[in-house]
């Protein structure tokens, strides 16, 4: 039964019940004949007015209900551009407003799902490519060694060295994928300690002394005097710095200069790694922190790397409550910078944290 019919029947039943009451009152002689006739006429007139008012007032409400049903069906059929007119009584306006807000949220969720599916497809393709390349190399060189077609011992050693390098590369890629997955799921406990900034820098630069010396690259460190310690998981921030410093060295020409600048901001410390490399195109700057996204992919392959280091770095910095970004101009070098808030958990005093100095 339609809502309109149901409401009309309800109204009619109330009138019939009152008329029945009048009949019973007349039969039991509670009321005189004249009074019963008068009340009957009044009831019928009131009923007619009630039905008229019912149709005048209920029609706009039913139109809105029908519109909600129509728009909901349209949304179910895939049209996410639906919008109801917010008119009528206050309650109906609120229903229309809530419906429109729901439609916007559903549209945003669907767009997120589409982007996620697209990203997932790209991720699978990129992972497959990055896994296939070292596996293919290992397979081809292994087959060459198995077939005994190589007589030169030096060539055999070179092939074995390549197999080892590709195996290590494959292992590093799988390890970083697993690590990134743990970061996304936050399955690693967050245990920050107060750590001197100069310790972070020294431990981050240490592994690159030989590489810097070979390429004749000079590293200049500048740090505000008032900066002492930051609240971090030191091994995670060292991993971020290692990645950014390694990238700066990799893409810098020989005899270049890399600057590491640490400055004090209002509620955080900012680290900047400035290189003299080729720079990054504007349209690529927002995408370089995506998993497996590479600028100039062929060149990146020549330089090595898993293509996931910056994604891990971004996740680690955001886990600390900071931000990681890049400012670059093609042909003018790049500046990668990240911030670390002085306190990630508000309301806790500095002495509540362990000291890592």
Domain co-membership, 142 together with 46: no
Q: Please provide the DSSP assignment of 135-185 as one string.
A: HHHHHHHHHHHHTT----HHHHHHHHHHHHHHHHHHHHHHHHHHHHHHHHH
Is there a domain that residue 91 lies in?
no
Q: Same domain, yes or no, for 216 and 126? A: no
Higher-scoring residue by pLDDT: 352, 223: 223
Give the model's pLDDT for residue 339. Answer: 95
Q: Which residue has the higher pLDDT, 183 or 239?
A: 239
Residue 290 confidence (pLDDT): 77
Q: How many domains are there within the chain?
A: 3
Flag whether 94 is in a domain. Answer: no
**One domain, residues 48 and 145:** no
What is the average pLDDT across 275-300?
A: 72
Same domain, 71 and 173: no
- Same domain membership, residue 308 and residue 166: no
How far does the chain reach from its first CA to its final CA, in angstroms? 77
The Cβ of residue 138 has, within 10 Å, a number of other Cβ atoms equal to 18
Q: Per-residue pLDDT tens for 226-274?
A: 888 899 999 999 999 999 999 999 999 999 999 999 999 888 999 999 9
Question: Residue 109: which residues within 8 A CB-CB, separation 6 or more?
Answer: none
Cβ atoms within 10 Å of 143's Cβ, excluding its own: 10
Question: Do residue 180 and residue 200 come from a single domain?
Answer: no
Query: Of 79, 107, 142, which residue constitutes the final position of a domain?
Result: 79
Quick check: 45 pLDDT over 90?
A: no
Claim to verify: residue 327 and residue 202 sit in the same structural domain: yes
The per-residue pLDDT for range 155-170, each reduced to its tens digit, is 888 888 888 877 887 8
Res. 322 pLDDT band, cuts 50 70 90:
very high
Give CA–CA dist 266/215, Å, rounded.
37
Q: Does a structural domain hold residue 48?
A: yes
The token pair that represents 338 in the structure block: 């990240």
Comparing 247 with 148, the larger pLDDT belongs to 247
Percentage of residues of the chain with pLDDT beyond 90: 25
Of the candidates 133, 151, 185, which is a domain's last residue?
185
My answer on whether 343 and 214 are in the same domain is: yes
Same domain, 64 and 127: no
Q: Do residues 328 and 334 touch, judged by C-beta distance below 8 A?
A: yes
Predicted confidence (pLDDT) at residue 319 exceeds the cutoff of 80? yes
Co-location of 245 and 167 in the same domain: no
111 part of a folded domain: no
- In this structure, what are the phi and psi dihedrals at residue 196, rounded to the nearest 5 degrees? -60, 135
CATH value at residue 134? 1.10.287.130
Which percentage of the chain shows pLDDT scores above 70?
A: 76
Greater confidence (269 vs 102) lies with: 269
Establish if 254 belongs to a structural domain: yes
- The confidence band for 37, taking pLDDT boundaries of 50, 70 and 90, is confident
Query: Whole domain around residue 178: which residue ranges?
Result: 120-185
52 and 171 part of one domain: no
**In this structure, are 207 and 346 located in the same domain?**
yes
β-bridge mates for residue 193, sequence order? 232
Q: Does the residue 105 lie in any domain?
A: no
Query: Which CATH number covers residue 331?
Result: 3.30.565.10
- Residue 303: pLDDT band by 50, 70, 90 thresholds? very low
Nearest in space to 320 (alpha carbons), one of 260, 257, 230: 230
Output the DSSP codes for 214-236: HHT-EEEEEE-TT--EEEE-HHH
Last residue of a domain, one of 185, 204, 231: 185
Indicate the DSSP class of residue 342: S
The pLDDT tens digits for 185-199 are 666 788 899 999 999
């Amino acid at each position: 039964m339609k809502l309109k019919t149901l409401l009309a029947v309800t109204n009619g039943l109330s009138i019939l019940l009152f008329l029945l009451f009048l009949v019973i009152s007349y039969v039991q002689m509670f009321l005189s004949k004249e009074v019963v006739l008068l009340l009957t006429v009044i009831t019928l007139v009131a009923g007619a007015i009630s039905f008229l008012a019912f149709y005048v007032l209920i029609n706009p409400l039913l139109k809105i209900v029908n519109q909600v049903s129509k728009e909901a069906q349209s949304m179910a059929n895939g049209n996410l551009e639906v919008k109801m007119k917010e008119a009528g009584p206050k309650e109906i306006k609120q229903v229309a407003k809530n419906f429109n807000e729901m439609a916007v949220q559903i549209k945003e969720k669907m767009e997120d799902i589409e982007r996620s599916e697209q990203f997932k497809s790209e991720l699978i393709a990129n992972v497959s490519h990055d896994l296939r390349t070292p596996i293919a190399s290992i397979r081809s060189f292994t087959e060459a060694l198995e077939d005994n077609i190589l007589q030169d011992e030096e060539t055999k050693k070179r092939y074995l060295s390549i197999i080892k390098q590709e195996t290590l590369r494959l292992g590093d890629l799988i390890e970083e994928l697993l690590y990134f997955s743990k970061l996304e799921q936050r399955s690693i406990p967050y245990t920050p300690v107060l750590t001197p900034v100069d310790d972070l820098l020294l431990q981050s630069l240490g592994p690159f002394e030989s590489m810097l010396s070979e390429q004749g690259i000079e590293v200049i460190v500048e740090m505000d005097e008032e900066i002492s310690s930051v609240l971090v998981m030191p091994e995670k921030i060292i991993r971020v710095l290692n990645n950014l410093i390694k990238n700066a060295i990799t893409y810098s020409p020989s005899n270049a200069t890399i600057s590491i600048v640490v400055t004090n901001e209002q509620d955080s410390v900012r680290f900047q790694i400035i290189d003299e490399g080729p720079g990054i195109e504007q349209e690529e700057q927002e995408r370089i922190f995506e998993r497996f996204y590479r600028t100039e992919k062929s060149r990146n392959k020549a330089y090595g790397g898993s293509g996931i280091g910056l994604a891990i770095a971004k996740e680690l910095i955001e886990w600390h409550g900071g931000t990681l970004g890049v400012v670059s101009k093609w042909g003018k070098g790049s500046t990668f910078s990240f911030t670390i808030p002085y306190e990630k958990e508000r309301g806790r005093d500095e002495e509540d944290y362990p000291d890592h100095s």
